[in-house]
Amino acid sequence: MALWRTLSIPIASPHGLILSFLLLLHSAVTTTVAIRVRTIIHDPSPVKLPVFREAPAFRNGDSCGSNKDDRIHIAMTLDENYLRGTMAAVLSMLQHSTCPENLSFHFLCAHSDVKLVSSIESTFPYLNFKIDRFDSNRVRGKISKSIRQALDQPLNYARIYLADILPADVKRVLYLDSDLVVVDDIGKLWDVDMEDKVLAAPEYCHANFTVYFNDAFWSDPVLSNTFQGRNPCYFNTGVMVVDVDKWRKGGYTKKVEQWMAFHKKKRIYHLGSLPPFLLVLAGNIKPVDHRWNQHGLGGDNFEGKCRNLHPGPISLLHWSGKGKPWLRLDSRKPCVVDHLWAPYDLYRSSRHFLEE
């Protein structure tokens, strides 16, 4: 299997009358240069990865096409801490997909670790995937401390740079977090009609949108007009359909970066990569059925207490929040919903070895 590793840095472009005015008041945004190189895979750390069982092979149904246009591109971050979650997520998609051989995974890595690649290859021998390098220098000096350390990791911001990281022939991509499982055919989400929008995601207009920004934001007469002409609603960036071409042509990476730069000068929110997405896109996305992100199953960002499922049909279960199902299961203090994740867990524990 050919694995291409790329490092991409976009050329900055100015955007937005309100934001440009604010940035002129507070700071100038640094312009970067576009670079694309191949990197050599290496083993940067002696971290011992968990061992996983080999997943069964999943084959396409008779109705599946075999052309390039039939590919479903899925981007996920890949690191040691969430590897167990990634494996479960991938298995869930393959298992429930009508055309599993058409799934093409793009794993975004902060460094090209041969152990991570080998782990995927041995667990999913038939998986169509590529390793795409995310250069953490892209966000150096741009990340502000948030309410939870996990939200401050550079790889958490890789979703902003999808249009620069992914190959040019990828026109649309599903971005998915690693702490979820899909219990429906992922092709249904892929086929959503974007209606000329750059992004599609479940939208939650019943949520109190004001809590995602602080008093300094809402009390500022200029900042508080950011959403003028829009009906902004919360959406979770862990499940998104992105029109990569529109994102690239519209300079959305730069737009999000500008809000990050402004936030470094004047704190206007508390979370990590979510608020700048909301500032740029809230009220201007294609809403998707809520069944595609039953989020919050990891509890809040502080204690990660157990939560029940929301009423209604479910296609995707998402353990956003502090609590992760594999950690709670290992601690033998799982929440009820964690048992819905367990059937997709491929981890070979020492207990499993003894049972074999």
pLDDT tens by residue, 177-206:
999 999 999 999 999 999 999 999 999 999
Quick check: pTM over 0.85?
A: no
Residue 192 resides in a domain: yes
Provide the pLDDT for residue 145: 60
Stretch 324-328: mean pLDDT, rounded?
A: 96
Domain span at 274: 68-292
The position carrying tokens 């508390």 is 270
Provide the pLDDT for residue 267: 87
Q: Which residues share a beta bridge with 37?
A: 7
CATH number at residue 76: 3.90.550.10
| Domain count of the fold of the chain | 1
pLDDT band at residue 133 using 50, 70 and 90 as cut-offs: very high
Q: What is the DSSP string of 263-296?
A: HHHS---SSSSHHHHHHHHTTSSEEE-GGG-B--
Average pLDDT taken over every residue of the chain: 85
Residue 60 resides in a domain: no
Residue 15 resides in a domain: no
Residue 45 resides in a domain: no
CA distance 340 to 306: 13
Burial readout 225-262 (b: 16 or more C-beta within 10 A, e: otherwise)? ebbeeeebbbbbbbbbbbbbebbbebbbbbbbbbbbbb
Residue 334 resides in a domain: no
Burial of 218 (0-12, 13-18, 19+ CB in 10 A): exposed
Residue 263 resides in a domain: yes
CA distance 240 to 252: 15
- Taking the CA atoms of 7, 141, 74 and 41 in sequence, report the sign of the dihedral they define: positive
Q: Residue length, the chain?
A: 356
Residue 84 resides in a domain: yes
User: Does residue 123 have a pLDDT over 90?
Assistant: yes
User: Does residue 41 have a pLDDT over 60?
Assistant: no
Residue 145 resides in a domain: yes
**Type of residue numbered 111:** H
Stretch 22-35: mean pLDDT, rounded?
A: 42
Alpha helix ranges (H) inside the chain? 17-26, 83-96, 114-123, 162-165, 186-190, 215-218, 244-249, 252-265, 274-281, 325-330, 350-355
What is the percent of the chain with per-residue pLDDT over 90, rounded to a whole number?
Answer: 65
- Who wins on pLDDT, 78 or 111? 78
Q: Which residues share a beta bridge with 203?
A: 235
